[in-house]
Amino acid sequence: MPDHVHWLLELQSKPLDDVMRRFKSSSALAFNRAYGRGGALWQSGYHDHAVRSDESLRRHAMYILCNPIRAGLAAAIGDYPYMWSLWPHDR
């Protein structure tokens, strides 16, 4: 999405606050260096959902996959050029 990011991730040893802080910091630094600019790139805070069931996982995954379609940026799942995913095959 051009103005926000959706993630579906499984936390390992770090809490979500640490993961988000590191993502925002490293991506803002890389973006600002690449485009010769400075300052904030991301808004403060974030919105999260805890996934506690297979149905919740499926619902949230489909929401993320369909977001570019709802935004008019793609006609079908998989058409949005900036979408990628890794999904474990052992689930």
What is the pTM (predicted TM-score) of this model?
0.75
**Cα separation, 54 vs 58, whole angstroms:** 6
Q: What is the pLDDT of residue 4?
A: 86
The 10s digit of each residue's pLDDT in 5-63 is 898 999 999 999 999 999 999 999 999 999 999 999 999 999 999 999 999 999 999 99
**Cα separation, 36 vs 48, whole angstroms:** 31
